[in-house]
Amino acid sequence: MNAVVPVKWVLARMYEPDIVIVDCRFTLGKPESGRAAYEEAHIPGAIYLDLEQDLSGPVEADGSGGRHPLPDPATLAARLGRAGISNESRVVAYDDQGGAMASRLWWLMKYLGHDNVFVMDGGFKAWTEANFPVTAEQRITIPAQFLATVQHNLLSEVYDVQDVVAGTKSATLIDSREPARYRGEVEPIDPVAGHIPGAKNVLWAEGRGADGLWKSTEEQAARFEGLSVNKDDEIIVYCGSGVTATPNVMALLEAGYTNVKLYAGSWSDWVSDKENPVATGDE
């Protein structure tokens, strides 16, 4: 089954006992806005998980690990359990950021060894436009046990990327950020502009059509055709801080690529080490 499910799929299953719906709305620079939106209205029964409080670890003073470091697996597993998510749960994530925040939870669940996780197509906007029910009432969560089986093969560390840049490791680097940031023309967040040398730019948001919905498997495959990569070649995906790269990870997997990894620290981790080279312009 595909990672992305339509709102009608969620509506038909929202009250099934093993379904856990997770509201992941979050706006960078406005950290309280997502929870405030959830408290105002959300899908009935949904719980809320916060990008920075729940789905990221503490930021290091030297910037290593990036702006949204991976949470400690045991800490995240305990948080999921407190939210009522068990190893038997079917998890459906949604946001109002084009799927970026929901995809972060999707990837983290996969990283912890939980495959029964989905992203709701079109997010909260598609749900409300369909006139499906919303509520301000918050469910009473019954804690569950979630045991993590960490899948290290889904993750690339900074030394893996350094080896690719040095030519001692073979992999394709994909930069998921906006083209102007990739080229180094602007950098509104991180202290250095540009991209990792050799990386190709594939904007994460282009995984959605003009209607805001997820593109078909064939359309996703077309986005990556220009990379000249075999389906089983290693691909390392990054963005600014390891969040908006995850929709591209999901798209690549749906397009049939089998060896896709996330550089979780991403650009913000890369530039925390002044020894790491930086490129600008197109490649």
User: What pLDDT, on a 0 to 100 scale, did the predictor assign at position 116?
Assistant: 98
Please pick, among 239, 262, 264, 271, the residue that the annotation labels catalytic. Answer: 239
SS3 7: helix
Residue 13's pLDDT band (cuts 50, 70, 90) = very high
Which pLDDT value is given to residue 228? 87
The answer to pTM > 0.95 is: yes
* 178-191: pLDDT as tens digits: 999 999 999 999 99
Averaged pLDDT of the chain: 97
- Amino acid 1: pLDDT: 67
* 239 catalytic per annotation: yes
Question: So where are the chain's domains?
Answer: 4-129, 152-270
Tokens of residue 218, six digits: 């064939």
Q: 152-270: same fold as 4-129?
A: yes
pLDDT digits (tens, 9 = 90+) for 47-71: 999 999 999 999 999 999 999 999 9
**CATH fold of 152-270:** Oxidized Rhodanese; domain 1 (3.40.250)
Residue 29 has pLDDT above 90, yes or no: no
> Which whole number is the average pLDDT over 262-279?
98
Is the pLDDT reported for residue 254 higher than 70? yes
- Start-to-end CA distance of the chain, whole Å, equals 35
CATH 3.40.50.10860 fits 4-129, yes or no: no
Q: Is 129 exposed, middle or buried (0-12, 13-18, 19+ CB in 10 A)?
A: exposed
As a whole number of Å, the CA-based R_g of the chain is 18
pLDDT in tens, 77-122: 999 999 999 999 999 999 999 999 999 999 999 999 999 999 999 9
